[in-house]
Amino acid sequence: MPEIALQSPPLPLTSLTDDEVLFRDSVRQFADEKVRPLAKEMDEKAVFDQGLIDQFFQLGLMGIEIPEQFGGAGGKFFEAILAVEELSRADASAGVIVDVQNTLVNNALLRWATAEQKKRCLPRMAADTAGAYALSEAGSGSDAFALKTRAELKGSDYVLNGRKLWITNAKEAGLFVLFATVDLSAGYKGITAFIIEKEFPGFTVGKKEDKLGIRASSTCELILEDCRVPKENVLGEVGKGYKIAIETLNEGRIGIGGQMLGVARGAWEYAAKYAQERKQFGKAIAEYQGIQFQLAQMATEIEAARLMVYNAARMKDAGIPFVKEAAMTKLFASQVAERVTSLAIEIYGGYGFTKDYPVEKYWRDSKIGKIYEGTSNMQLQTIAKLVLG
């Protein structure tokens, strides 16, 4: 019987340039050597190692698309997705920290910031400042524009009052792209994006959520009580926050696809290796057709998800409309991650259900893929509108 491979299903190398392969392999090595050994402890303590975040900056992973003139790597969106995938293969919390930084915060600044704002913010985002993207509130999840956080112009400042919930990277972040409304009666046309510094008076990072998965990644409440924000910290135009939010989240969904792809790959690798080591009835369980078929189906779905993620990222870099593909990518990759990680637990049997073995963490980490940056139902709604006209 042919031996089952111990590594991931082969990557479509023909779709990557030599530089992209080199970049991907370097991130993979870093993830294996530096991130993976800390993943279990970080998950148990629900705290991400600050030393790893420092290394993310040192390696240029927090400013992949930021131009070199601002201290960034001057890379492509596709490379950011490769980084998220490889980090998530070792630990989904690591993947989402780099994902939010690049696909949401940095992308919003690159597209919408003024020249002065870029000069002031981008060097920090590339060097040492983590970012967070603050849109959600208690009453505005899928209905993202039912915002209650208010922004009132008083002199040279806007004064913000309200609360944000489920904000990724909130504990580690020094800069926030935060959405508030300047006019509740205007609905989504009153929403405005602001650049918030953690040190601004009246701004507080509140409760950290105790989560099922991606536990090392901080998810916190933000509290704004007469928080004064200079007018020059408006991102884009007043009343155009809805446009910034929608277009940035479209890109972010490809990032979540990359994260879920990495999660699925990590679980598959462990399951394939274990299947060749675990013996029952005198032979490795990988020699039984039932297990072979499960691993083959998992590998096929991973490859399909990979091609969707890569295609959507390539489309974004090429300037081709990608909203439908981004929604499909997030929807499908999150489904694959949940199925693959669940099957990995079953291949491990009783061991898979314990925290002494790695696959249960992958399953817990996979669940968020169907929820944040637009639930699966919201992705289906977007897809339906676009394919049905």
Do the Cβ atoms of 387 and 324 come closer than 8 Å? yes
CA–CA dist 94, 259 (Å, integer): 9
**pLDDT above 50 for 5:** no
| Alpha carbon distances (Å) from 163 to 205, 211, 219 | 10, 19, 14
CA–CA dist 124, 301 (Å, integer): 39
The model's pLDDT over 19-65, given as tens digits with 9 standing for 90+, comes to: 999 999 999 999 999 999 999 999 999 999 999 999 999 999 999 99
> Among 128, 123, 76, 138, which Cα is nearest to 102's?
76
What are φ and ψ of residue 298, in 5° steps? -60, -45
Q: Report pLDDT for 13.
A: 43
**pLDDT above 50 for 124:** yes
> Among 160, 204, 155, which Cα is nearest to 182's?
160
CA–CA dist 345, 349 (Å, integer): 6
The model's pLDDT over 156-176, given as tens digits with 9 standing for 90+, comes to: 999 999 999 999 999 999 999
Tokens of 226: 């007469």
What is the set of active-site residues? Answer: 373
Place of tokens 């490795």: 284
Identify the structural domains of the chain with CATH numbers, from first to last: 13-130 (1.10.540.10), 132-240 (2.40.110.10), 243-388 (1.20.140.10)
The model's pLDDT over 181-220, given as tens digits with 9 standing for 90+, comes to: 999 889 899 999 999 999 999 999 999 999 999 999 999 9
* Biggest CA-to-CA distance, the chain: 79
DSSP three-state, residue 350: helix
DSSP three-state, residue 191: strand
Q: Give the end-to-end CA distance of the chain in Å, rounded to a whole number.
A: 50
Type of residue numbered 304 = A
DSSP state of 171: T
Burial class (CB in 10 A: 0-12, 13-18, 19+), 19: exposed
| Alpha carbon distances (Å) from 158 to 148, 161, 191 | 15, 10, 13
Place of tokens 């259900």: 353
Distance of CA 229 to the CA centre of its chain: 27
**pLDDT above 50 for 319:** yes
